[in-house]
Amino acid sequence: MKQKKKLKVGVLVSGRGSNLQAIIDAIERGEVPAEISVVVSNVPGALALDRAAKHNIRSIVVDSKAFENKDEYEAQIIKAMEDTGADLVCLAGYMRILSPEFIERFKGRIMNIHPALLPAFPGLHVQKKALEYGVKYSGATVHFVDEGTDTGPVILQAVVPVLDDDTEESLSARILEQEHKIYPQAIKLFAEGKLKLEGRRIKVGKD
């Protein structure tokens, strides 16, 4: 039987890279049939770059402040992804909005992790919004990226109860634990060819 080509993943980061670490660990444990081909940070000195270095993963800094416009900046990221053969682009704490042109270039091949149960509470400061609204459950969502803000088709979700004494920090910490579980799971499903898009719904099927 012909062996399947291992999925190559390019990861975009801006900060500490805890979800990047979760993906790295899952790959190294043999749970996800993939390899990280490149880590690209828009922030020089981001902790995520140190994580990549510790695992001998190629990393590149593309400082968004060093370019005159977004087109030139994203062109460098696209080059990094294509030069390293990335089949899937994963956003892991990447704090910039992708242009429609970038999304079209990798259509159906960009994932993001969001610390809420989408479509509730898109955007930033989501735990603060959840607590202020008084919801009883929050959680995390892995979704494909489209042109909207956290509006792409949902791949996986994890539910986290909101406790009466929760703060933004405590709720964020418990949600982050679930993020670290479901992001690698979503990449695994993609690698195995098991994600089938029907309208807005994603069904998990056989490869």
Catalytic residue numbers, as ranges: 114
Q: For residues 57 and 36, give the distance between their C-alpha atoms in angstroms, rounded to a whole number.
A: 7
Helices 126-133, 168-191: axis angle to 10 degrees equals 120
In 29-167, where does DSSP find H-type helix?
A: 47-54, 70-83, 100-105, 126-133
Contact status, residue 82 vs residue 74, Cβ threshold 8 Å? no
CA distances from 186 to 53, 78, 174, 179 (A): 24, 22, 19, 11
Residue 38: CB atoms within 10 A of its CB come to: 22
Q: What is the largest CA-CA distance in the chain?
A: 55
CB 103 within 8 A of CB 145: yes
- 3-state class of 109 per DSSP? coil
Contacts of 196 by beta carbon, 8 Å cutoff, 6+ apart: 202, 203, 204, 205
